[in-house]
Amino acid sequence: MRDYIMKLSSSKYVLFMDENTEKNCLPVLEDSLGSSGLSFSKVVISSGEQNKTIDTCKILWEELTKLQADRSSIVIHLSGGVLSDMGGFVAATYKRGVPFINMPTTLLSMVDASVGGKLGVDFNGFKNHIGLFKNPEGIFIFPGFLKTLPERELLSGFAEIIKHGLIADKSYFQLIRQAGHPSEITDEKWIDFIAKSIEIKKKIVEGDPFEKGPRKILNFGHTAGHAIESWSFKTSNPLRHGEAIAIGMMVEAYLSMKTSGLSHAEMNQIIDFLCEIFPFPNELQNANFDELVQIMKQDKKNRNGMILFTLLKEQGKAVYDEEIHEDEIKEALNFYLNYNF
């Protein structure tokens, strides 16, 4: 990593981080760079999805301007998924684009957010409503950062690992099931899972970099999940991204069984496993299904007024652009609420 960064010969290195990564991860980065002589201009923002807004982008653009960063400067994200999404958007639009590097510090950002070139911010309560596609100059993953995470953040990233198996590799999903609860997974197994998930996502993204077709399979669990996550922002205990996606995968597993060929047995296996890891049966008790459907209508994958889902034909095989009607969505949400956890 040190040699790679030094070869870039940047005019200025700007390090974006939040208060958590400044405390827990910056010392690790500084130790790894040793006596390289590299100097960083550091910008710290507040963590949390609630700060993934245009207002925070303004702060970051202002900081880059104060630092007199030019187009040969490099922005480095020492961060989780929120800041890598938003920081990449800021870098890609500042002076029509400066290069950036991702150093993901959460499991979610290691296996998902830092890979694939999707950048953006939330807007008016809608997830990633404003954004663009641009790949980082490089991605450096240090699994040791996982030791800095509370269990809830680890679980959030685990949801995306589960998704990768469900959409692309049934045998991988079965390995994940056999590994048990994330708190019991060994360091060596985490490295294997991170590498496999990145391999799956990289292959999908390279075949469809701008999400015109097959890349849409990465959205399994996300049409319902993003709506649930956005709705939860208004509650006293907002869901983490992965928690909402786990609920979304349960809802969409039911839709997959109803409309796309997933067997009852495979649906039950998926939902039972997700229930073991993410026991949130009461999270939607007060949700208004009509409101959730209205949020889903803003999903970026929709076309001609129809809500389009990525669903499962079977474990390891996904289909996309599946038209689902509002009454079917509400039926699936009700199924989740009444499932025997």
User: What is the 8-class DSSP label of residue 15?
Assistant: E
Domain residue spans of the chain: 2-147, 151-337
Averaged pLDDT of the chain: 93
Q: Coil, helix or strand for 328?
A: helix
The whole-angstrom separation of Cα 168 and Cα 200 is: 7
Element (H, E) at 170: helix 170-179
pLDDT for 212-270, tens place per residue?
A: 999 999 999 999 999 999 999 888 888 999 999 999 999 999 999 999 999 999 999 99
Query: How many CB atoms are closer than 10 A to CB 46?
Result: 11
List the structure tokens of 268: 């039950």
pLDDT for 19-49, tens place per residue?
A: 999 999 999 888 877 766 678 899 999 999 9
Residue 15 amino acid letter: L
Q: Taking a C-beta distance cutoff of 8 angstroms, is the pair 246, 226 a contact?
A: no
pTM: 0.92
pLDDT for 60-83, tens place per residue?
A: 999 999 999 999 999 999 999 999
CA neighbours closer than 13 Å in the CB half-sphere of residue 151: 7
Phi, psi of 336 (to 5 degrees): -60, -45
Beta bridge partners of 267: none
In CATH, the architecture of 151-337 is Up-down Bundle (1.20)
pLDDT for the residue 116: 92
The CATH fold of domain 2-147: Rossmann fold (3.40.50)
Which of 58, 59, 61, 116 has the alpha carbon at shortest distance from 84? 116
pLDDT for the residue 279: 78
pLDDT for 289-340, tens place per residue?
A: 999 999 999 998 899 889 999 999 999 999 999 999 999 999 999 999 888 6
2-147 and 151-337 share one fold: no
Query: How many CB atoms are closer than 10 A to CB 199?
Result: 14
What's the full length of the chain, in residues?
341
Strands of the chain, DSSP E: 13-18, 40-45, 74-79, 100-104, 118-123, 126-133, 138-139, 308-314, 317-323
pLDDT for the residue 33: 76
pLDDT for 132-187, tens place per residue?
A: 999 999 999 999 999 999 999 999 999 999 999 999 999 999 999 999 899 899 99
Q: Taking a C-beta distance cutoff of 8 angstroms, is the pair 291, 231 a contact?
A: yes
pLDDT for the residue 300: 87
